Structures are given as C-alpha cells and as structure tokens.
Chain A
Amino acid sequence: MSNPYLPQKAELVEVIQETSSDLDIKTYRLKFTDGGKMDFMPGQFVELSIPGVGEAPFGFASSPLNKEYIELSIKRVGLVTEALHSLKAGSKVWIRGPFGNTFPVKEMEGSKILVIAGGLGLAPLRPLLLYMFDEQNRSKYGDIQMLLAARGSGDFIYRREFEEWRKIDRTSVTCTIDRPEEGWDERVGFPHVLVSEMDIDTANTYAVLCGPPIMIKFVSGKLVELGIPKEKILTTLEMRMTCGVGKCGKCNIGHQYVCIDGPVFSMAQLSQMPGEY
C-alpha cells in the first residue's frame, strides 16, 4: 500500500491573474515533473505543499481530460496561499491526490444542467463544465444554463472564457453582480432572486451550486421551492483538513468526512447531516 501523505513534485508553469478588483485570486497552472501524473474526475481535490510552510487542500479547476497540466484557482487567505502567491513561474511545489468523491457525471447524463456559482465557487465547478463542454461529451447532456454571480464586475474568475462558453451548443451564461456599476450591461441582483426568473425544466434538471454558504442556503431553498428534487441539487463543501484521506479527524460533519465521503454532496444528503459546516 502506498503512502497517501507522499506528494509528487510539480512545476508552476503559469500564473494567471483572475480578479481585477484586487489581486487575491490567481490560477496556477502546474505540470508534474519526474514523470508524475494525476488522473482525476470533476469534484475532486488535491493537497498542495510548499515545503517549510505547510500543506492545504484545493479543488481541481481544470479539465479532467487535460493530461498536460492541472490548474488550481487560489485565493490569498492563509499561510500556504500567501506563500503560493509569492511564487513565480518555474517554482516547484508538491502535490498529492486526487482525493474525494466526484460529481455524478454518469447519472447526470441525459439531464439539463443548471450551474449557479458565486465568486471563487466557480473554480471547483470548472472541471465539470469543461468535461461536459468536451466534443465527446457535450451531446450526453441537455441544455447547460449558468448563472454566475460576483460582488462586482472585477470579481469574476475565468471571465476571459465566458464568450467561448456562450458559443458552445445549447449553453447559456448569465452574469450578475451585487450592485449596479457603470458600464455593466448584464444582470444585477442576488442569484436566489434571479433564479426564479429563469426558465428551468425542474423535472429533468441537475442543479450544481458552489459559492458562499449564504448563497448556497438561499439558492438551494429556492430551487427546492421551484420543484427540483433535493437529490438533484449538488454542491461541494470545503473544510479545514490535514490528511485528505479520512484519518486526521478534522473535516467530519457528523460521521461523514468531507475528504472521503465528499466534497460533493446532494441537498438530500446534507439535509440528513448535522448542520455543522
């Protein structure tokens, strides 16, 4: 049995600035060196180490079909992320994974997909989107409707890709910000309000949500009200964790561990779990 705590070396090949409101969110493109590789599915995460500083969990942000590199979109907020933000292309970091469960991409086939993301919450959903957008996979899924929210126009991540996403067959992208801004010609308002204006085929839709806890709470409540079954409303959780493999005892919600039983949970599952997250 292999050591689950042993990371692989990866080179930071590109750093992409995401937000323009501040410089706090960047996307890190990483290539495994020394012949390393990591196959994953949408929803999974890694533990990234900067030796001497520590290790922290991050969801994959790139396509699982891309075997050349992986991407992680990371906000500067703690010790590891602070150190990471000071690294330049060419730097080496250490990564172990993939960990956690995945979005049920097979079960979701044949359904329409509603994606609602707030701010950095779009990052762990991007592997799912890129997976569904792939030529081989696009026909397996129905319409893909996206409602992407951010505080202000400068707070969106992957904004450079939205136009491309809009060109994909049966795919729509609606962007919204919290307050009106000069030059902003898309929607203004919170996603839980806007979602009731959307034309949703509740009988045949999987909803995938990620964002601030308050957004998840209001949006999922609204979606249940609209008639989407709780089993088909999915979200992905984050928790402080050390090991990522169900041993260290930090990320449990009741008897379930976010690192091995999650991070993807349905609202049906969450409604049965203690509200401690």
Chain B
Amino acid sequence: MKHVVVPKDSIKDLLESLMTDYKIVAPVREGQTLVYKAVNQVDEVILNDEAAYKSPKEFLFPQTEQMMVFSKDGDIRITEDDTKTILFGVRSCDLEALKIMTAVFTQGKFIDTYFEKKLKNTVLIGFGCQSEKKGCFCGDRGLNKGYSEACDAFLTDNGDQYIVQIITEKGELLFGGFAQIDSQKAVSCESGGQALLEINSDESTLFNNVDWGRISEKCMGCGTCTYICPTCHCFVFKDVVEKGEAIRYKCWDSCMYPKFTMHASGHNPRASKKERYRQRILHKYLYVKQNFGYTACTGCGRCIRSCPVGMNIKSVVTEIMEGLK
C-alpha cells in the first residue's frame, strides 16, 4: 500500500485542477450544518472534524432520479448520466454504507444499472474522523473512524499536511504525483475491529419474541431516520407528465410509511407502526446480513441526532439483545 503526503495548502489547488474533468462533491457549509454538495468554488470545501448532516448517498442514489422518458411518439428514451464525480471527504461510516448499498444494487441476477454507472464514474476519497460526535457509535459497529479501505484513497489529517493512503488505481490517478513516504512512518491505518453491536439471533425469535410494540411506542413514523440513513435504499417509481411526455423517476421511499407495503386491495402486511419499526430494525440488523453478509448500520449516529422524539437505534439494539439473553 502506498502513502503520499499532501500539504494542506495544496489540496485546494488539486481540487481546482480536477474541476475541469470532474464534478466535485465535498463537505460545504449550509446554514448551521455541513452537507455534501457539488462545489462551485474550492474555497467552499470544509475539511474539519465536524460530522455532515446527511451522508453523500444521494450522489450515487439520488433522492429523485430521472430514469426514462416515454415520448409523445410512443418511444422510450433512457436517461443517461455520464458525469464523472469525485466524492471528497467521505467518512468511514459513509464509505462502509456505500459498500453495503453497492452489494444490494449490484449483486444478484439483476443489477441496478443506474447505480452501477454512477459508481463506476465516481472516485471516492475518504477522510478520517478525529473524534466521535454525539450519537456516533461506529466503533461499536466494528469500524475505525480514522480509516477505511472502502474507497479509492483515504486522507488523514496530520497537522499541516494530509497523509493519503492510495488504495486503488483511481486513487493513484489523483494522488500519485505527490511525495511518497515510508508506510511504516504513516499514521496507523488499521481497519476496524470486532463489531460489538450486533443482533445474533434467528429470524423467528427476533420477529416474534421481541416486544416491538413497546420498543416502537414513541416513534411518530415521520421517516426522517430513513431519509438520513446512509444505508437506507428503498425506492418507488413515480411518473410525471410534462409537455405530453411521461417521465419516470426513481424516488426514495420509506418503510416507515403505511402506504409503503399497502396493496391496491387495501390489505397491508405492515399495517401498524410496530410492524414497520420491526422491519426497519431487522432489515438493517438481520435481513441484509442474511442476504449480503453486512449489518446495514454503520453507527453514523445520524438517525439518533435527527429523531424528533429521541429514538435511539443503539439503545434499541442493545435492549433487544439484553432481552433475548
């Protein structure tokens, strides 16, 4: 593995030079919060130790993504997006989340070609956290807040410079020109350890023997947690008619909403909040693990920080495991 040193004042020049070929998405100040946005001026980029309000998942899986157009003359046009993007300054938790989302969208008999294409056209540049923020629990989920290999290159703050670990050829293309240093002298680049926060039980026990009614009691079903979550990937298609053409969009959907599973007949397999909350927790902590080998929660803490009634997934999972002992 190759390490290079990038003086902090060179980062902006580097980004500036890349802006002609790439859309650069990086942490930017918006009001009181930090968000990932397409950058117009490199001066907007903020690389500090703050946690971004939202993850950058929307740049691979947009909240509303145009898929195709049914034209007036009865034909169909696939909407193509060939934008080359650099996702810059992505934290370990969100890189892990993209790894999970990549499994869901690109494994199996069918592949989501929209996601796959965006991923292929994206360079992922990670950036280490120095401190755990309020609500964060990536350590409990076995992640290292300071390092992840689920990207093309990873930046670690080292005073007046960044130490960059180059992981892939895409990373080499961006950082290969900087001065290499002896990897022995580089900052510790170990991936995470054993995940402590896991649900280890079978589907039937978890589904039936947990008091989901009580656990979900204060949830309002607003769905904020699902929008803010870096691993939530459920969607719905919506058609919009504009100027005689029908445009089909793929839009984020949420398992917290009653209509998510409601049949046209009115029958609803997840008719109450209890069933919907159970689905959210078990999808993250069990079903994705059964299907793809990953627990779909990276401990980013966003749902905890954003919940209007103080639901806390970490305490819920802890309580479930305690209850099953």
| Chain A residues near B (Cβ < 8 Å) | 1-7, 9, 49, 51-56, 77-79, 81, 92, 94, 213, 238-240, 242-243, 245-255, 260, 272-274, 276-277
Contact = CB atoms under 8 A, between A and B. Distances in A.
Contact of B70 (A5, A52, A239): A52
Contacts, number: 122
B76 A248 contact: no
A239 B113 contact: no
A54 B287 contact: no
Contacts of B283: 249, 252
Nearest to A244: B110
A51 B108 contact: no
Interface in B255-288: 255, 260-265, 267, 269-270, 275, 279, 282-283, 286-287
B279 to A, nearest CB: 8
Contact of A255 (B109, B248, B291): B291
B261 A250 contact: yes
Interface stretch (B17-25, B159-167, B234-242): B234-242
B59 interface: no
Contacts of B70: 49, 51-52, 94
B108 A276 contact: no
A238 B263 contact: yes
Contacts of A246: 108-110
Interface string B47-87: 00000000000000000000110100010101000000000
Contacts of B275: 276
Contact of A55 (B78, B113, B237, B290): B237
Given A9-B74, A248-B234, A260 B113 contact: no
A276 B269 contact: yes
A247 B237 contact: no
26 contacts: A4-B110, A4-B111, A5-B68, A5-B237, A6-B78, A49-B70, A49-B248, A52-B241, A77-B265, A92-B74, A94-B76, A239-B269, A240-B262, A240-B263, A242-B253, A247-B104, A247-B233, A248-B234, A249-B235, A250-B260, A252-B279, A254-B203, A254-B287, A255-B287, A255-B290, A255-B291
Given A6-B76, A247-B104, A51 B246 contact: yes
B255 A56 contact: no
> Per DSSP, are chain A's interface residues mostly helix, strand or loop, or mixed?
loop
B172 interface: no
Contacts of B204: 272, 274
The 6 closest A-B pairs by CB, nearest first: A78-B264, A249-B234, A51-B70, A51-B246, A245-B110, A52-B246
Contact of A242 (B68, B76, B235, B263): B235
Contact of B264 (A56, A249, A273): A56
Nearest to B105: A247
B207 interface: yes
A101 B169 CA distance: 39
A5 B108 contact: no
B166 to A, nearest CB: 29
B116 interface: yes
B213 to A, nearest CB: 15
A252 B287 contact: yes
Interface in B285-309: 286-287, 290-291
A51 B239 contact: yes
B112 interface: yes
A1 B111 contact: yes
A277 B262 CA distance: 10
A52 B234 contact: no
B82 to A, nearest CB: 15
A159 to B, nearest CB: 23
Given A5-B237, A54-B237, 15 more contacts: A3-B113, A7-B76, A52-B240, A52-B246, A54-B239, A77-B265, A78-B264, A94-B76, A240-B262, A240-B264, A247-B235, A250-B234, A252-B287, A254-B287, A276-B207
A141 to B, nearest CB: 28
A242 B236 contact: yes
A192 to B, nearest CB: 20
Nearest to A259: B110
Contact of A9 (B76, B203, B208, B253): B76
